Amino acid sequence: MFSGCSVSSLAAKFAFFPPDPPTYSVKKDDSGRMVASGVPRDHSMDVLVLDTKQGNKIVAFYWKNPLARLTVLYSHGNAADLGQLYDLFVQLKLNLRVNLIGYDYSGYGASSGKPSEYSTYADIEAVYECLQTEYGVSQEDLILYGQSVGSGPTLHLASRLARLRGVVLHSAILSGIRVVCHVNFTLCFDIYKNINKIKKAKCPILVIHGTEDDVVNWLHGHGLWKLAKEPYEPLWINGGGHCNLELYPDYIRHLCGFIREIENITTATRLKKIKQTLKLPKKATVTTSTASTTTFTTNCCCRIKFVKPNCASCSCGGCLTVRRSKGSANLCNWCSGRNRR
Protein backbone atom coordinates (compact mmCIF):
# COMPACT_ATOMS: atom_id res chain seq x y z
CA MET A 1 0.00 0.00 0.00
CA PHE A 2 1.38 3.41 -1.01
CA SER A 3 1.27 6.32 1.42
CA GLY A 4 0.05 9.75 0.29
CA CYS A 5 3.59 11.12 0.14
CA SER A 6 4.90 8.21 -1.92
CA VAL A 7 2.03 8.44 -4.41
CA SER A 8 2.57 12.20 -4.70
CA SER A 9 6.28 11.61 -5.33
CA LEU A 10 5.41 8.96 -7.92
CA ALA A 11 3.09 11.41 -9.69
CA ALA A 12 5.86 14.01 -9.69
CA LYS A 13 8.22 11.53 -11.36
CA PHE A 14 5.68 11.03 -14.12
CA ALA A 15 5.23 14.80 -14.46
CA PHE A 16 8.83 15.97 -15.04
CA PHE A 17 11.20 14.87 -17.81
CA PRO A 18 13.79 17.63 -18.28
CA PRO A 19 15.89 17.17 -21.45
CA ASP A 20 19.23 15.62 -20.58
CA PRO A 21 21.55 17.15 -21.56
CA PRO A 22 20.00 20.63 -21.79
CA THR A 23 19.78 22.04 -25.31
CA TYR A 24 21.36 25.40 -24.40
CA SER A 25 23.54 27.14 -21.81
CA VAL A 26 23.91 30.71 -20.59
CA LYS A 27 26.93 32.91 -19.87
CA LYS A 28 27.98 36.55 -19.81
CA ASP A 29 29.58 38.04 -22.91
CA ASP A 30 32.46 40.52 -22.94
CA SER A 31 30.11 43.42 -22.22
CA GLY A 32 28.68 41.67 -19.17
CA ARG A 33 25.35 40.92 -20.84
CA MET A 34 23.83 37.49 -20.29
CA VAL A 35 23.58 35.49 -23.53
CA ALA A 36 22.47 31.98 -24.47
CA SER A 37 24.44 29.50 -26.55
CA GLY A 38 22.72 26.71 -28.46
CA VAL A 39 20.11 29.11 -29.85
CA PRO A 40 20.44 31.80 -32.55
CA ARG A 41 22.02 35.03 -31.34
CA ASP A 42 19.06 37.36 -30.99
CA HIS A 43 19.65 40.97 -29.97
CA SER A 44 15.91 41.46 -29.40
CA MET A 45 15.93 38.75 -26.72
CA ASP A 46 16.84 39.38 -23.09
CA VAL A 47 18.37 36.42 -21.26
CA LEU A 48 17.46 36.59 -17.57
CA VAL A 49 18.57 34.67 -14.50
CA LEU A 50 16.01 35.02 -11.70
CA ASP A 51 16.09 34.06 -8.04
CA THR A 52 13.11 32.14 -6.66
CA LYS A 53 11.87 32.05 -3.09
CA GLN A 54 13.04 28.42 -2.89
CA GLY A 55 16.62 29.51 -3.50
CA ASN A 56 16.91 28.34 -7.11
CA LYS A 57 18.11 30.35 -10.10
CA ILE A 58 15.94 29.98 -13.18
CA VAL A 59 16.52 31.14 -16.75
CA ALA A 60 13.99 33.12 -18.75
CA PHE A 61 13.95 34.50 -22.31
CA TYR A 62 12.08 37.76 -22.92
CA TRP A 63 11.16 39.24 -26.30
CA LYS A 64 9.88 42.79 -26.73
CA ASN A 65 7.54 43.45 -29.67
CA PRO A 66 7.28 47.17 -30.51
CA LEU A 67 3.73 46.61 -31.82
CA ALA A 68 2.52 44.83 -28.70
CA ARG A 69 0.00 45.97 -26.11
CA LEU A 70 -0.12 42.69 -24.20
CA THR A 71 2.47 40.29 -22.77
CA VAL A 72 2.31 36.48 -22.75
CA LEU A 73 3.90 34.51 -19.92
CA TYR A 74 4.45 30.99 -21.31
CA SER A 75 4.80 27.90 -19.08
CA HIS A 76 5.96 24.96 -21.22
CA GLY A 77 5.33 21.22 -21.08
CA ASN A 78 7.20 18.55 -19.14
CA ALA A 79 9.76 17.33 -21.69
CA ALA A 80 11.10 20.53 -23.25
CA ASP A 81 13.38 23.42 -22.41
CA LEU A 82 13.86 26.94 -23.74
CA GLY A 83 16.34 25.86 -26.40
CA GLN A 84 13.76 23.61 -28.04
CA LEU A 85 11.04 26.26 -27.82
CA TYR A 86 13.03 29.17 -29.24
CA ASP A 87 11.53 29.01 -32.76
CA LEU A 88 7.97 28.67 -31.43
CA PHE A 89 8.39 31.66 -29.14
CA VAL A 90 9.70 33.87 -31.94
CA GLN A 91 6.76 32.90 -34.16
CA LEU A 92 4.23 33.56 -31.41
CA LYS A 93 5.75 36.96 -30.71
CA LEU A 94 5.43 37.94 -34.38
CA ASN A 95 2.09 36.34 -35.26
CA LEU A 96 0.25 37.34 -32.08
CA ARG A 97 1.89 40.80 -31.85
CA VAL A 98 2.71 40.35 -28.18
CA ASN A 99 5.68 40.62 -25.88
CA LEU A 100 6.59 37.14 -24.71
CA ILE A 101 8.49 35.64 -21.82
CA GLY A 102 9.24 31.93 -21.44
CA TYR A 103 11.12 30.32 -18.58
CA ASP A 104 12.61 27.01 -17.55
CA TYR A 105 11.42 25.35 -14.37
CA SER A 106 13.91 24.57 -11.62
CA GLY A 107 16.00 21.63 -12.84
CA TYR A 108 15.23 22.31 -16.52
CA GLY A 109 17.68 23.71 -19.07
CA ALA A 110 20.19 25.99 -17.36
CA SER A 111 17.99 26.50 -14.29
CA SER A 112 19.29 25.16 -10.98
CA GLY A 113 17.48 22.94 -8.47
CA LYS A 114 15.08 20.04 -8.91
CA PRO A 115 11.60 20.17 -10.43
CA SER A 116 8.57 19.74 -8.21
CA GLU A 117 5.03 21.06 -8.04
CA TYR A 118 5.85 23.76 -5.51
CA SER A 119 9.11 24.75 -7.16
CA THR A 120 7.20 25.50 -10.38
CA TYR A 121 4.87 27.74 -8.36
CA ALA A 122 7.89 29.62 -7.00
CA ASP A 123 9.33 29.79 -10.54
CA ILE A 124 6.30 31.44 -12.14
CA GLU A 125 5.96 33.86 -9.23
CA ALA A 126 9.58 34.95 -9.78
CA VAL A 127 8.92 35.51 -13.49
CA TYR A 128 5.77 37.53 -12.77
CA GLU A 129 7.66 39.68 -10.26
CA CYS A 130 10.35 40.29 -12.89
CA LEU A 131 7.74 41.41 -15.42
CA GLN A 132 6.37 43.88 -12.91
CA THR A 133 9.64 45.33 -11.66
CA GLU A 134 11.88 45.17 -14.75
CA TYR A 135 9.41 45.67 -17.60
CA GLY A 136 6.49 47.48 -15.96
CA VAL A 137 3.93 44.85 -16.98
CA SER A 138 0.71 44.95 -14.96
CA GLN A 139 -1.63 42.01 -14.60
CA GLU A 140 -4.24 43.90 -16.64
CA ASP A 141 -1.93 43.55 -19.66
CA LEU A 142 -0.82 39.97 -19.00
CA ILE A 143 -1.92 36.68 -20.58
CA LEU A 144 -0.84 33.43 -18.91
CA TYR A 145 -0.23 30.49 -21.25
CA GLY A 146 0.16 26.96 -19.89
CA GLN A 147 0.94 23.90 -21.98
CA SER A 148 0.40 20.44 -20.46
CA VAL A 149 2.14 20.42 -17.04
CA GLY A 150 2.57 24.18 -17.51
CA SER A 151 -1.16 24.52 -16.85
CA GLY A 152 -0.36 23.84 -13.18
CA PRO A 153 1.76 26.94 -12.45
CA THR A 154 -0.41 28.93 -14.88
CA LEU A 155 -3.62 28.32 -12.94
CA HIS A 156 -1.78 28.69 -9.65
CA LEU A 157 -0.90 32.27 -10.59
CA ALA A 158 -4.21 32.95 -12.34
CA SER A 159 -6.13 32.02 -9.19
CA ARG A 160 -4.26 34.81 -7.35
CA LEU A 161 -4.57 37.63 -9.88
CA ALA A 162 -8.05 39.18 -9.95
CA ARG A 163 -7.37 41.60 -12.82
CA LEU A 164 -5.56 39.28 -15.22
CA ARG A 165 -6.32 39.88 -18.92
CA GLY A 166 -6.61 36.23 -20.00
CA VAL A 167 -5.46 32.59 -19.77
CA VAL A 168 -4.68 30.01 -22.45
CA LEU A 169 -4.72 26.31 -21.47
CA HIS A 170 -3.05 24.13 -24.11
CA SER A 171 -3.39 20.34 -23.67
CA ALA A 172 -3.97 21.06 -19.99
CA ILE A 173 -4.56 18.61 -17.14
CA LEU A 174 -7.35 18.44 -14.56
CA SER A 175 -4.79 17.16 -12.02
CA GLY A 176 -1.67 15.04 -11.93
CA ILE A 177 -3.26 11.85 -10.57
CA ARG A 178 -6.10 12.08 -13.09
CA VAL A 179 -3.58 11.74 -15.92
CA VAL A 180 -2.29 8.47 -14.46
CA CYS A 181 -5.56 7.11 -13.00
CA HIS A 182 -9.10 7.77 -14.19
CA VAL A 183 -10.72 8.94 -10.95
CA ASN A 184 -13.66 11.28 -10.44
CA PHE A 185 -12.62 12.62 -7.04
CA THR A 186 -9.71 14.67 -5.73
CA LEU A 187 -7.11 13.00 -3.51
CA CYS A 188 -5.39 15.08 -0.84
CA PHE A 189 -1.93 14.10 -2.13
CA ASP A 190 -2.72 14.89 -5.77
CA ILE A 191 -0.51 17.41 -7.59
CA TYR A 192 -1.59 20.34 -9.77
CA LYS A 193 -5.22 20.40 -8.69
CA ASN A 194 -6.30 22.53 -11.64
CA ILE A 195 -9.82 21.20 -11.28
CA ASN A 196 -10.12 23.37 -8.14
CA LYS A 197 -7.98 26.36 -9.08
CA ILE A 198 -9.67 27.13 -12.40
CA LYS A 199 -12.81 28.10 -10.48
CA LYS A 200 -10.85 30.96 -8.88
CA ALA A 201 -9.70 32.50 -12.18
CA LYS A 202 -11.63 35.68 -13.00
CA CYS A 203 -10.68 36.28 -16.64
CA PRO A 204 -11.44 34.88 -20.10
CA ILE A 205 -10.00 31.37 -20.52
CA LEU A 206 -9.24 29.77 -23.88
CA VAL A 207 -8.89 25.97 -23.84
CA ILE A 208 -7.07 24.23 -26.72
CA HIS A 209 -6.92 20.43 -26.89
CA GLY A 210 -6.45 17.71 -29.48
CA THR A 211 -9.19 15.12 -29.84
CA GLU A 212 -6.60 12.33 -30.31
CA ASP A 213 -4.33 13.31 -27.41
CA ASP A 214 -2.99 9.99 -26.06
CA VAL A 215 -1.03 11.59 -23.20
CA VAL A 216 -3.65 13.87 -21.64
CA ASN A 217 -7.11 12.79 -22.72
CA TRP A 218 -9.35 15.36 -24.40
CA LEU A 219 -11.73 15.03 -21.44
CA HIS A 220 -9.25 16.98 -19.32
CA GLY A 221 -9.53 20.01 -21.59
CA HIS A 222 -13.28 19.68 -21.88
CA GLY A 223 -13.64 19.42 -18.11
CA LEU A 224 -11.57 22.55 -17.52
CA TRP A 225 -13.56 24.47 -20.11
CA LYS A 226 -16.84 23.51 -18.41
CA LEU A 227 -15.49 24.65 -15.02
CA ALA A 228 -14.17 28.05 -16.18
CA LYS A 229 -16.12 31.05 -14.90
CA GLU A 230 -15.51 33.00 -18.11
CA PRO A 231 -14.88 30.42 -20.84
CA TYR A 232 -13.91 31.58 -24.32
CA GLU A 233 -14.93 29.54 -27.37
CA PRO A 234 -12.69 26.43 -27.09
CA LEU A 235 -10.58 24.98 -29.87
CA TRP A 236 -10.89 21.20 -30.22
CA ILE A 237 -8.39 20.25 -32.92
CA ASN A 238 -9.75 17.21 -34.73
CA GLY A 239 -7.04 14.54 -34.93
CA GLY A 240 -4.59 16.63 -32.91
CA GLY A 241 -2.23 14.92 -30.48
CA HIS A 242 -0.40 16.17 -27.43
CA CYS A 243 2.67 17.85 -28.94
CA ASN A 244 1.66 18.86 -32.46
CA LEU A 245 -1.22 21.32 -32.13
CA GLU A 246 0.95 24.25 -33.27
CA LEU A 247 1.18 22.61 -36.71
CA TYR A 248 -2.56 23.01 -37.39
CA PRO A 249 -3.64 26.27 -39.11
CA ASP A 250 -6.62 26.59 -36.76
CA TYR A 251 -4.23 26.86 -33.80
CA ILE A 252 -2.67 30.22 -34.66
CA ARG A 253 -5.89 31.52 -36.24
CA HIS A 254 -7.99 30.85 -33.13
CA LEU A 255 -5.26 32.08 -30.80
CA CYS A 256 -4.96 35.33 -32.76
CA GLY A 257 -8.72 35.82 -32.52
CA PHE A 258 -8.61 35.37 -28.76
CA ILE A 259 -5.73 37.82 -28.34
CA ARG A 260 -7.40 40.49 -30.51
CA GLU A 261 -10.73 40.13 -28.69
CA ILE A 262 -9.37 40.46 -25.16
CA GLU A 263 -7.00 43.19 -26.34
CA ASN A 264 -10.02 45.30 -27.27
CA ILE A 265 -11.79 44.84 -23.95
CA THR A 266 -11.73 48.18 -22.15
CA THR A 267 -10.62 48.55 -18.56
CA ALA A 268 -14.11 49.67 -17.56
CA THR A 269 -15.64 46.50 -19.02
CA ARG A 270 -13.09 44.31 -17.24
CA LEU A 271 -13.72 46.00 -13.89
CA LYS A 272 -17.47 45.59 -14.32
CA LYS A 273 -17.07 41.86 -14.96
CA ILE A 274 -14.72 41.49 -11.99
CA LYS A 275 -17.22 43.18 -9.68
CA GLN A 276 -19.94 40.84 -10.94
CA THR A 277 -17.85 37.75 -10.19
CA LEU A 278 -16.65 38.90 -6.76
CA LYS A 279 -18.99 38.10 -3.91
CA LEU A 280 -18.49 41.10 -1.66
CA PRO A 281 -19.70 40.69 1.94
CA LYS A 282 -22.55 42.86 3.12
CA LYS A 283 -21.62 45.73 5.37
CA ALA A 284 -22.18 45.10 9.07
CA THR A 285 -24.91 47.19 10.67
CA VAL A 286 -25.12 48.32 14.27
CA THR A 287 -28.48 49.21 15.80
CA THR A 288 -28.93 50.51 19.32
CA SER A 289 -32.31 50.29 21.05
CA THR A 290 -33.62 52.84 23.52
CA ALA A 291 -33.52 50.21 26.23
CA SER A 292 -30.38 48.74 27.74
CA THR A 293 -29.85 46.19 24.92
CA THR A 294 -27.53 46.64 21.92
CA THR A 295 -27.87 44.27 18.96
CA PHE A 296 -24.95 43.81 16.54
CA THR A 297 -26.05 42.37 13.20
CA THR A 298 -23.23 40.96 11.05
CA ASN A 299 -23.13 39.13 7.73
CA CYS A 300 -23.32 35.76 9.45
CA CYS A 301 -26.21 33.57 10.50
CA CYS A 302 -26.40 34.70 14.15
CA ARG A 303 -27.40 37.83 16.07
CA ILE A 304 -25.38 38.66 19.18
CA LYS A 305 -27.05 40.63 21.97
CA PHE A 306 -25.26 42.44 24.78
CA VAL A 307 -27.45 43.40 27.76
CA LYS A 308 -26.35 46.31 29.95
CA PRO A 309 -27.44 45.78 33.58
CA ASN A 310 -29.26 48.49 35.56
CA CYS A 311 -28.07 49.75 38.95
CA ALA A 312 -30.18 48.29 41.78
CA SER A 313 -29.81 51.36 44.01
CA CYS A 314 -30.19 54.35 41.72
CA SER A 315 -31.79 55.37 38.42
CA CYS A 316 -28.72 54.65 36.27
CA GLY A 317 -30.00 52.41 33.50
CA GLY A 318 -27.66 50.85 30.99
CA CYS A 319 -24.76 52.92 32.26
CA LEU A 320 -21.51 52.46 30.32
CA THR A 321 -19.26 52.87 33.35
CA VAL A 322 -17.70 49.84 34.97
CA ARG A 323 -19.99 48.22 37.51
CA ARG A 324 -19.41 46.07 40.54
CA SER A 325 -21.67 43.40 41.92
CA LYS A 326 -22.77 42.66 45.50
CA GLY A 327 -24.51 39.35 45.62
CA SER A 328 -27.00 39.27 42.75
CA ALA A 329 -27.39 43.08 42.61
CA ASN A 330 -25.56 45.19 40.01
CA LEU A 331 -24.32 48.51 41.42
CA CYS A 332 -22.75 51.45 39.61
CA ASN A 333 -19.40 52.84 40.68
CA TRP A 334 -20.97 55.47 42.94
CA CYS A 335 -23.47 53.18 44.70
CA SER A 336 -20.87 50.48 45.24
CA GLY A 337 -18.71 53.03 47.07
CA ARG A 338 -15.88 52.89 44.52
CA ASN A 339 -15.96 56.64 43.82
CA ARG A 340 -16.33 57.67 47.46
CA ARG A 341 -13.35 59.01 49.31
Give the neighbor-by-neighbor strand order of the sheet with 45-51. 45-51, 57-63, 99-103, 71-75, 142-147, 166-170, 205-210, 235-237
Q: Say whether 213 is catalytic.
A: yes
- The DSSP letter of residue 306 is E
E-assigned strand segments in the chain: 25-28, 34-37, 45-51, 57-63, 71-75, 99-103, 142-147, 166-170, 205-210, 235-237, 285-288, 293-297, 303-307, 324-326, 329-331
In the set 81, 242, 254, 336, the catalytic residue is: 242
Count of Cβ atoms closer than 10 Å to residue 214 Cβ: 9
Q: Which of 46, 104, 123, 213 is catalytic?
A: 213
Task: Give the C-alpha separation, 101 to 36, whole Å.
Answer: 15
Q: Is 242 a catalytic residue?
A: yes
Helices 117-135 and 151-158 meet at what angle, rounded to 10?
Answer: 60
Question: Has 87 been annotated as catalytic?
Answer: no
Exactly one of 106, 116, 119, 148 is catalytic; name it: 148
Give catalytic residues, as residue numbers.
148, 213, 242
